Amino acid sequence: MNKPFSLQPLMNLAQHQSDSAIRNLGQLNKQQQNAQQKLDTLLEYRKDYQTRLQETTLSGMNPADLRNFQQFINKLDEAISQQLKAVEQSKASTQVGRSEFDTTQRKLKSYDALQQRHIEEQKKAAGRSEQKALDEHTGRFAAQKMLKAEYTNS
């Protein structure tokens, strides 16, 4: 008779935690990609705006327009600085999520190894039980055959 795996509830919990960690890591990765895309967009926009400023400066521009350009570039620089912080924070969160995922995977693999060991032990026990039953059957058959032979010889 097979005994149920006594750690099955813990394995189910570990599986649930692993699934949750996978979803969380996916969300964190997506957030990191979005933050990086925003940063890339801001950097590209700043580069384009700086190029426009240089081209416009060469053709001549009044001081008020120049000041407006410079103020706008300064605001872009501030936005880029804030977005850099957001990207770094997102990377740190993703790293924490990856670490949590790795931890849940190790725990799940440990329970899986224990479950596989349990299954193997159950198979061995079933094999021993079958062998014992077969030996008993063979012994009875042999005893009956001997009795029958003695009975016919008498």
Task: Give the count of domains, the chain.
Answer: 1
With a cut of 50, which residues of the chain have pLDDT below it?
none
Domain assignment of residue 74, yes or no:
yes
Q: What is the DSSP string of 25-80?
A: HHHHHHHHHHHHHHHHHHHHHHHHHHHHHHHHHHH---HHHHHHHHHHHHHHHHHH
What does the pLDDT look like over 17-45, one tens digit per residue? Answer: 999 999 999 999 999 999 999 999 999 99
pTM of the model: 0.71
> Per the domain annotation, does 151 fall within a domain?
no
- Indicate whether 149 belongs to any domain: no
Q: What is the pLDDT of residue 145?
A: 77
Residue 136 has what pLDDT? Answer: 86
Residue range of the domain that includes 121: 8-127
CATH of the domain at 86: 1.10.287.1700
Task: Say how far residue 90 (Cα) sits from the centre of its chain.
Answer: 18
